[in-house]
Amino acid sequence: MISNAYAQAAAPAAGGDPLPSFFIIIGMFVLMYFFMIRPQQKKAKEHKQMVDALQKGDEVIAMGILGKITKVSEAYVSIEVSEGNVMHVQKHAVTMLLPKGTYNDISK
C-alpha cells in the first residue's frame, strides 16, 4: 500500500570552473599590497633615512617632546628640552625633524 520513497539524483554543480574565483583572490592580494603594505614599507624607509641623518643642532620631536639635539651616538641621541635640561632617548623615538628655528620660535 505505501510505496517506497527514493531520493532524487543530485543536481549538477554550478560554475564548474574555479579559475575566475582564483583570479579574484589574487586580485584582492594585489590590491592589499598596493594600498596597505607598500605605503607602510615606504614610510618605514623614510623614517630610517631621517633617523640615520640626524646630527647635532637638528631640532626634532621625540615622543611628543620638542628639543634640539646636542649629541648623537650610534643608538641614542641627547635632546636639550630647555636650558640645561637634557634627555637621552633612542634614535628611533625621534618622530619628526623640524625646520631650523622652530625650537627658538616656540621657546620664546
Question: Which has the closest alpha carbon to 51: 101, 100, 89, 107?
Answer: 89
**Range 55-108 has CATH code 3.40.50.300:** no
Local confidence pLDDT in tens for the 108 residues of the chain = 778 877 777 666 665 677 888 999 999 999 999 999 999 999 999 999 999 999 999 999 999 999 999 999 999 999 999 888 999 999 999 999 999 888 777 766
Which residues 6+ apart lie within 8 Å of 55 measured at CB?
69, 72
Question: Which has the closest alpha carbon to 71: 54, 84, 85, 94?
Answer: 54
Residue ranges per domain, the chain? 19-53, 55-108
pLDDT of residue 71: 96
pLDDT of residue 19: 84
pLDDT of residue 6: 76
